[in-house]
Every structure is written in C-alpha cells, then in structure tokens.
Amino acid sequence: MSKLYLVPTPIGNLEDMTFRAIRILKEVDFILAEDTRTSGKLLKHYEISTQMHSHHMHNEHKSIHGVLNRIKSGETCALISDAGTPAISDPGFLLTRACVENNIEVDCLPGATAFVPALVNSGLPNEKFIFEGFLPVKKGRQTRFLSLAEENRTMIFYESPHKLIKTLSHFVEYFGTDRQVSVSRELTKMFEETIRGTATEVLAHYTNKPPKGEIVIIVGGKK
C-alpha cells in the first residue's frame, strides 16, 4: 500500500533506534535522507540495503513532485533526517503537506527527538511549553526576544555552540538576570551534560567553558 513513513533516527546513541523503525526502513521501496553519507552509516549498522535518495532543504522543492508520483504509483517511502524526528527543524514539512493534499497516507513513527529529554530533565515546568527552534540570526532577532519576554510558558530553543554565548547574553538582556535556564548538550552521547541555573549563572559557566556539540536550551516562562 502506497504510504509515506516519517521515521525518527537516533540523535546520538544508535541504541535509540526502535525495532519498528528498522523494520520499516527495510520494507519500504525507497528512503529519502537529509544527508545520504550520514544516513548511510546508520543503514549499514542495521544492515538495511533499501535504495536511498537525497532530500534536503536545498532540493526538496524540486524533488517532491517525483516522490509523489512514485508513491501514487504504489510505492512506499520513508523519510529520515540526520538525527531525530523529520520536520522538527529539519526537512519534512513540505513533503508531508504535499502528501496530505494528495490524499496519500502519512504515518509518523514515535522515536528520538532532542527537545523532549532536554525539557523533561530541565526541572522546569513542562505542563505547558512552546517550541521556538532556532532563533533568527540577525533580522527579526530583537523582535522575537521582545515578543517572548512576557511569555509565561516554558520555552524551548535549538542553538549552535558558537552562538550560545550570544543567545544567553540576550536572555539576560531581555528576560532578566534571574530567569531560569537549562542547557542540555550532546544528548544521548558520551559527553552529555545539562547545566541549570539563572541566565547569568549559565552564561558565566559557558563563558569560562566554551561549549561543543548539539545544544537544546530550556528557558522558564515569566512568573
């Protein structure tokens, strides 16, 4: 039966791959991968020989039509990103929307995503939260911070190591020195760590110890 599967992949630890995800990747007719070199290592580890094609932010607009035609003809497709759940700050939304608009069944498997463990282990309220993803680099950045300054729900951000100090400085500037912050780095990997404290304390920590690796920031809402 023709279908699109959205298949989460590990964010660091290969043991976080589910049995169902492995089975689906072996059974589908073809796989769309954000980076075939990165995904090739995962597929080799689990002895998955399914045909793989590149599908990333630079070519997804052009490739969607061909993918839809293959699925409509009766093939099944799995979409994976380099790490985590597709379409969460990664390619996937455009293809998913196109499939929905064309009455093609979409099945998203549960699995790894970085912000959930970061949120849960932050110790900050998680009954209500908002996911902001990556902040604007330049244009619109100040506007975004100003709009979030009064937000009372817990906020989730993704950030790169070389921009972390700048972002933490902006938290101090726009949210206040005492706003609670939790930074999780290298989740599920050997050097995983979570640093918690006020915006000022966390900024001081990473100023003295420059960060490396993938980063998720959890910020408490305004009280």
Question: In terms of domains, do 103 and 119 share one?
Answer: no
Asked if residue 135 and residue 54 are part of one domain, the reply reads no
Rounded to whole angstroms, how far apart are CA atoms 8 and 146?
Answer: 33
Number of helices (H), then strands (E), in the chain: 8, 10
Whether 14 and 103 share a structural domain = yes
pLDDT of residue 62: 87
Q: What is the pLDDT of residue 130?
A: 98
Same domain (yes/no): 89, 56: yes
Instruction: Name the pLDDT band for 118 (thresholds 50, 70, 90).
Output: very high
20 in the same domain as 59: yes
Q: What pTM value is reported for the model?
A: 0.92
Q: Find the helix packing angle between 141-148 and 164-175, rounded to 10°.
A: 50
| 1 has a pLDDT exceeding 80 | no
Q: How far is CA 76 from CA 11, 27, 29, 70, 198, in A?
A: 24, 8, 5, 8, 48
Number of domains in the chain: 2
pLDDT in tens, 124-163: 999 999 999 999 988 899 999 999 999 999 999 999 999 9
Q: Which residues contact 187 (CB under 8 A, 6 or more apart)?
A: 11, 12, 114, 117, 118, 214, 216
Residue ending a domain, among 76, 108, 140, is 108
User: Is the pLDDT score of 4 beyond 80?
Assistant: yes
Strand residues in the chain grouped as ranges (E): 3-6, 30-33, 52-54, 76-80, 106-108, 129-134, 154-159, 180-185, 193-198, 215-219
Supply the range of the domain harboring residue 89. Answer: 3-108
Does 61 have pLDDT greater than 90?
no
What is the pLDDT, as a whole number, of residue 50?
Answer: 98
Residues 100 and 128 in one domain: no
Q: Band the pLDDT of 79: cuts 50, 70, 90.
A: very high
Residue 175 sits in the same domain as residue 197? yes
Pairing mode of beta strands 106-108, 3-6: parallel
> Residues 78, 32: contact at Cβ < 8 Å?
yes
Residue whose token pair is 């998913």? 96
The pLDDT of residue 215: 97
Residue with tokens 């998955």: 48
Q: Is residue 44 predicted with pLDDT exceeding 90?
A: yes
Q: What are phi and psi of 53, to 5 degrees?
A: -130, 155
Check whether residue 11 and residue 62 sit in a common domain: yes
pLDDT in tens, 88-104: 988 999 999 999 999 99
Find the CATH number of the domain harbouring 80: 3.40.1010.10
Mean pLDDT of 104-117: 96
In DSSP terms, which residues pair with 156 in a beta bridge?
A: 131, 218
Look at residue 121 in the predicted model and tell me its pLDDT.
97
User: For residue range 171-221, what is the model confidence (pLDDT) as tens digits?
Assistant: 999 999 999 999 999 999 999 999 999 999 999 999 999 999 999 999 999
pLDDT band at 57 (very low <50, low <70, confident <90, very high): confident
